[in-house]
Structure 1
């Protein structure tokens, strides 16, 4: 008799990784054993400290929050939505749960039996890669990073990296060693002499029995727990993790995660009972993978020509696509891509200065504005930037400004060649209007704040999101201090900003249908940027300004900071943070899929699950706009 429930489970699983990598027969074998769990809001799947289950989980409907709890507080670490997997600790490390998983609304979760899953996925490379990466990314949070020595696995699922991941790992063949009777001072001097991060402790037969790393020295010697004259046998980490000389990169990564280490000792027979022949480090793995954030950043910082910068930035696009396919948390993606974007811009400025006939005449700061200023620029989009230079005597002003405009033209041209389009509104440092002295910038912001009009509010929404990239940061700090001093308690300015943040109503109509464009070239398309992302971006901006919060620019971090400050509104702010990340991730995926900005979406191309997931993200928009209306009395914000 046909099992219709199992068929529905198979249909659902086939749409999400890693199950979409399995054939139908394997999926049916899993589905036949899946337990369907129905949860009310507040129900726990598991709690911190619980013994690991014999299942891991995937969300069918609803949302499961992951919490870190202690005696006094409960903090959200992540939110799992439809298609997200969680509870991988049981599959990878066989340890008690470090977090609690609790339903935030009515939810349905599929419990996947580990034994059945492993029986059908044994030796399937892509699935092992996906699960290891998912676990590593979940482990990389403030509560487990130290425990896992901040090991993070960056997989790039393309042909070249697949070859790299499953080839024999390259390791150091002449590791530096010492005897257990030696003092820590002796070992540290030896590490310093050879410029290495660890030293292997071996017995008289040269079998590895322990390891001393920089972390051991920091945690056990620098803290005063042991004197520098103590024997290495007293503080070495033991036993060591070992493997054979033919270990692959993928297996090495798995072993490092499973055992929470960043070094593997290579021995003759792969056990600690044979002669040490080498040492494999996490850094060795990163170098082998090549298309990795660390390697890309090194390529950027070494680039001597624009075309090499372009090649490095294109690698970041491949990395971005890989991260999205593997469902890596957006917070990690934003940090990685933003770091690469900033490094590319910094190098473009450095190379442009080299093209100038003379060095900069005075101190200056290059700032990114808009999405890059908020560190939310994932795809190649328009470049938005500005330049601040130190005040100079009046008779030198024109000469200095002319220099920086010429420099800015070199920079914006370089960025354009790399792939960042010129700003259509010319909001770039090459425009004299956005290349000014620090005093002029202070006056400019003061005018926007004290004499707000429609244009100044529009510019405020762009220029209040800025980030220092290159040069003298103190200029930016001085500007920031002046802005907050000028804003003060200007309720009218906040009210106008809040009113602007509500110019786009929640994206659903009366009958819960999407509000789409009514005319023009984008007729019947959904504008996810203006209707969903911008209301959250604008709301976060006015709220942090009103709270005098400095140096927190990204939208999700602004909401998380607000959640810390206002316990009564914590749930709303965290919901806004989550909604923003989910919407930005969705927009980015659409942009990659259609090779555009992802701004306009053809709703008919979305699955029902995708549409439901989008609609769930719209709820916080309505709530935060209602909050702004009450908080800033927007009815009195007429210009």
Structure 2
């Protein structure tokens, strides 16, 4: 019975949606007859929100923007809806009879970003499906996530309104400060033409587009210097397509200020094309964003780059000042960590650079190319406050006659790095997992043998080392060394199935606690207080499960969020489960950050233990949901053994 949906694949996709998945085929067909397929073309506008009886709109293919129109005819985007997401949650209060429909007072439009197919699910169908507990849970979860995003946006709006003054009370988006119209040129233009255009228009970059106006690449002044002048190329023979940066990082007109700023820090770039529907409509430069910010906060970058060994401690205070502002402004945990991690990365790399320079001043020149890696929370992008050191060194293989000399140099370098990081505020690792220790530095061959030894022994101690090691992230040195190292590690891990199996078995022996059970039987030494450790019982199991699943699917050298996305892309976990794991991860981090920061402000010892009696009901429910999700991830891992 496919009178409404004739495409079997589309039919199955709708049936597998959480709104309908628990229905029989006969029940589903009956419900489907009441729904309608909607086809929208790109850039088409639709006043979908005309009446609440229209129900929900499930996006099956494509994407759409929900806009609110002002009295002056301008529009502000409320949200961006992707495939498998739902439009119309704002009507639920009306459906439940709790209030009149608030959207009647505003002009709300839906603008299609790309050709889309949607399923209109009327109110009668929604009402019948809400009797299913799983459907109610699904709707509640989706509405909670949407509400969380709205609060983040509102928090940023209030903060930026304060920062920019009452004359600019609206949230600052990229479209508010981008340079427009964008200056473009075709891919066959010569570099001489590009240089002349830059001079005549007083710009430092040119966007390259195809005949349809789609973004192909970008050419900056640095590209001209590096790839034409320094490279010895001919300005009249080299074309734009020869020297441009292809598929550059971009931002959307509706992205927030801090999202654009994060991209600059994350990718180390100075120009970001602004795109809409794949076409460039403006450009944002790092210099522009910096001038829009409070200079006292943003000068931290200059502070880091210009710091010497003696004034490294100043940097920590500057970063903590930015962190304090982000926490007070209630910027989302993930965005906060993205911004702060980039500061810490710069600080750590600067310390290594100073360590190398310190040895050079003493007559010790780097003998071979090397790579320096972080481990632990810093490598996972979770370090919001300076913690202990976790890092290692890898260097190129050399003939046996040079091995002793090279090892001596990297022994000195490992010690110098530890000293410089300590000066910056990183305490020494109590477990001695630092490049100053012989087992945490070595040549490519030595590391290969070390990994093989860990896999062969598979003791609890070796497994612990493996967990810490698997979170590694390249921060300083030669990228070619890093590429070879990552390939070597991946090959070794694929040969170490037994080691990975024991790692997973260890997770089975560490069950996630249920909040309902008696904690006195779990935490010996506690009195009557119900205590749970968010790090031990949520974050660590989540990290370990993701690491093991990642290794099993060839995903290493990645942060937890990157592993989740990669597993979803490889279809090893569903989109809904990936969203749940991301949510659990963010909640765990949020709890850890807020607890630790409050203790830091009170000069108390940092702890990740939570007294459940002090939690409000909604906080307890969030924690319970988080632990349930981590437990489900653990079960998913064990099911793969």
TM bin (shorter chain)? 0.5 to 0.7
Q: Which residue of 2 aligns with 1:104?
A: 138
Partner of 2:632: 623
Shift of 1:387: 0.9
2:331 counterpart of 1:328 = yes
Aligned match of 1:532 in 538, 543, 549? 538
Match of 2:356 among 353, 358, 365: 353
Q: For structure 1, which segment, 617-626 or 482-491, has the greater mean C-alpha deviation from structure 2 after superposition?
A: 482-491
- Corresponding residue for residue 593 of structure 2: 588
Structure 1 residues 192 and 569, CA gap change in structure 2 (3 angstroms): closer
Against the structure 1 CA distance between its residues 514 and 564, is the aligned structure 2 distance closer, same or farther, given a 3 Å change threshold?
farther
Q: How does 1:329-478 map to 2 (within 5 A)?
A: 329-356=332-359, 357=362, 358-478=364-484
> Is the alpha carbon distance of 1:470 and 1:133 closer, same or farther for their aligned partners in structure 2, counting shifts above 3 Å?
farther
Which residue number in structure 1 is paired with residue 582 of structure 2? 577
Unmatched tracts of structure 1, length 5 or more:
1-38, 56-64, 77-88, 140-147, 153-170, 172-176, 178-182, 199-212, 229-251, 264-279, 633-639
What does the per-residue CA deviation read over 1:16-47, in whole Å, with 9 as the maximum and x for residues that have no partner?
xxxxxxxxxxxxxxxxxxxxxxx9xx967999
Relative to structure 1, is the Cα distance of residues 133 and 399 closer, same or farther in structure 2, using a 3 angstrom cutoff? Answer: farther
Q: 2:319 aligns with which of 316, 320, 324?
A: 316
Provide the secondary structure at the position in 2 that maps to 1:436.
Answer: strand
CA shift, 1:306, in A, is 2.8
> The residue matched to 2:640 in structure 1 has which SS?
helix
Tell me the residue number matched to 1:68.
Answer: 81
Q: What's the TM-score, normalizing by structure 2? A: 0.60
Aligned 8 A contact 1:522 1:600 in 2: no
Give 1:490 deviation, angstroms: 4.5
Q: How has the CA–CA distance of structure 1 residues 512 and 482 changed in structure 2, closer, same or farther, with 3 Å as cutoff?
A: same
Q: Matched residues in 2 for 1:325 and 1:630: separation?
A: 42
Distance in 2, matches of 1:570 and 1:123, equals 32
SS in 1 for 2:373: strand
Separation in structure 2 between the aligned mates of residue 584 and residue 484 of structure 1, nearest angstrom: 28
Deviation at 1:50, TM superposition (A): 7.2
Give the CA deviation at 1:431. Answer: 1.2
Q: Cα 1:469–1:75, aligned 2, differ >3 Å: closer, same or farther?
A: farther
Distance in 2 separating the partners of 1:367 and 1:384: 9
Alignment partners' CA distance in 2, 1:90 and 1:420: 56
- CA gap of 1:569–1:46, structure 2 versus 1, over 3 A, is closer
Matches within 5 A, 1:96-135: 96=110, 104-106=138-140, 126=162
Which residue matches 1:283?
287
2:306 aligns to what?
302
Match of 1:608 among 617, 621, 631: 617
Provide Cα deviations, 1:600-633, integer angstroms capped at 9, x if missing partner.
Answer: 233344333322222221111111111122211x
| Map of 1:504 onto structure 2 | 510
Name the SS for the 2:474 alignment partner: strand
Q: 1:359 to 1:291 in 2, by over 3 A?
A: farther
Equivalent-residue separation in structure 2 for 1:545 and 1:96 (angstroms): 42
Q: Deviations over 1:112-159 (max 9, x none)?
A: xx9xxx9xx9999549989x99966xx7xxxxxxxx46979xxxxxxx
Q: TM-score, normalised by structure 1?
A: 0.60
- Match in the other structure for 1:556: 561
Unaligned runs of 5+ in 2: 1-51, 71-77, 88-102, 119-134, 184-188, 218-235, 237-255, 262-270, 274-283
Q: How far did 1:189 drift?
A: 5.0
| Pair 151,555 (structure 1): closer, same or farther in 2 beyond 3 Å | farther
2:574 counterpart SS class: helix
Q: Return the alpha-carbon distance in structure 2 between the equivalents of residues 262 and 437 of structure 1.
A: 39
